[in-house]
């Protein structure tokens, strides 16, 4: 899962990967079995709930454990508390996307949910850790 970090907001620093949402920065293209093409963006909404550190906790955590988020994720999976995210997509038919009011490939723009509502497509569940991190992940 690739996530875009939301910076310069009052949301705070996420208290680990399990407690943050993820968004695709790129626009993708799906083609169905009828040959119809759609532009798509992904949203992953944490099922654990949004949780943020305050400024002081973020600073002390970063200073004492730079791998906090990875460690938190690993420990959660190892104890069977599998983190999950509800996965959504936004779809734009190809013909609409080409004439939308702005460039739909512009990563600085958010597709309005009023124009393109989120469609739930499933869950992403992390239920195991890699046996060989460098061979399977890195």
Beta bridge partners of 120: 88
Vertex 58 angle, CA 88 and 51, to 5°: 35
Q: What does the pLDDT profile of the chain (138 residues) look like in tens digits?
A: 444 555 556 667 889 999 999 999 899 999 999 999 999 999 999 999 999 888 888 888 888 998 999 999 999 999 999 999 999 999 999 999 989 999 999 988 889 999 999 999 999 999 999 899 889 887
Strand duo 119-125 + 37-46: pairing:
unpaired
The whole-angstrom separation of Cα 128 and Cα 131 is 9
Verdict on whether the full-model pTM lies above 0.95: no
Cα 34 to Cα 30, 31, 38, 93, distances in angstroms: 11, 8, 12, 13
Cα 136 to Cα 14, 18, 81, distances in angstroms: 26, 20, 22
Domains of the chain plus CATH, in order, are 13-136 (2.40.180.10)
- Which of these, 77, 90, 89, 88, lies nearest to 123 by C-alpha position? 88
């Amino acid at each position: 899962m690739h996530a875009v970090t939301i910076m310069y907001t009052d949301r705070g620093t996420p208290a680990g990967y399990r407690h943050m949402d993820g968004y695709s920065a790129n626009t993708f293209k799906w083609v169905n079995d009828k040959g119809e093409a759609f532009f798509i963006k992904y949203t992953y909404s944490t099922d654990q709930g949004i949780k943020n550190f305050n400024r002081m906790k973020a600073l002390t955590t970063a200073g004492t454990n730079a791998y906090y988020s990875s460690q938190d994720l690993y420990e959660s999976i190892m104890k069977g508390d599998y983190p999950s995210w509800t996965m959504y997509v936004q779809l734009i038919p190809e013909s609409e996307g080409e004439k939308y009011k702005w460039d739909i490939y512009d990563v600085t723009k958010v597709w309005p949910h009023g124009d393109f509502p989120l469609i739930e497509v499933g869950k992403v569940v992390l239920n195991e850790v890699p046996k060989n991190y460098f061979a399977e992940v890195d």
